[in-house]
Structure 1
Amino acid sequence: MSIWWSLQLRREAASVPLARRLLLGAMESAGVDADISHELSVALSEACSNAVQHGGTQAESYRVTASIHGDVCRIEVTDCGPGFPIGAVVPRPEPRELQSGGRGLRLIEALSDRVQFDNQPGSGGAVVTFDKILKWRNKPLLQAS
Structure 2
Amino acid sequence: MSIWWSLHLRCEAASVPLARRLLLGTMETAGVDPDISYDLSVALTEACANAVEHGGTRSGGVSPEAYRVTAYLDGEKCRIEVTDSGPGFTGSPAARPARHDAEHGRGLCLIEELADHVHIDNKPDRSGAVVSFDKMLKWRENTPLVTAS
TM, length-normalised to structure 1: 0.92
Amino acid at match of 2:33: D
**RMSD (CA atoms):** 1.5
Distance 1:116 1:141, change over 3 A: same
Q: How far apart in 1 are the matches of 2:112 and 2:130?
A: 14
Task: Check conservation: 2:67, 2:82, Cα contact below 8 A.
Answer: yes
Q: How far apart in 2 are the matches of 1:123 and 1:93?
A: 24
Q: 1:74-93 maps to which residues of 2 (within 5 A)?
A: 74-86=79-91, 88-93=92-97
Task: Check conservation: 1:29, 1:140, Cα contact below 8 A.
Answer: no
Q: Percent identity?
A: 66
Unmatched 5+ residue regions in structure 1? none
1:85-144 deviation line (CA, Å, top 9, x unaligned):
25x252513433x52311100110000000000111115200000000000000224355
Q: How far apart in 2 are the matches of 1:94 and 1:47?
A: 16
Q: 1:11-22 maps to which residues of 2 (within 5 A)?
A: 11-22=11-22
Unmatched 5+ residue regions in structure 2? 58-62
Task: Look up the match of 2:66.
Answer: 61
Task: Check conservation: 2:46, 2:108, Cα contact below 8 A.
Answer: yes
Task: Check conservation: 1:84, 1:90, Cα contact below 8 A.
Answer: no
Any runs of at least 4 consecutive aligned residues in structure 1 with deviations exceeding 4 A, and if so which?
none
Aligned counterpart in structure 1 of residue 103 of structure 2, from 94, 100, 105: 100
Task: Look up the match of 1:118.
Answer: 121
Task: Look up the match of 1:4.
Answer: 4
Q: How far apart in 1 are the matches of 2:90 and 2:137?
A: 32
TM, length-normalised to structure 2: 0.90
Q: How far apart in 2 are the matches of 1:107 and 1:13?
A: 19
Q: How far apart in 1 are the matches of 2:79 and 2:43?
A: 11
Q: How far apart in 1 are the matches of 2:6 and 2:96?
A: 29
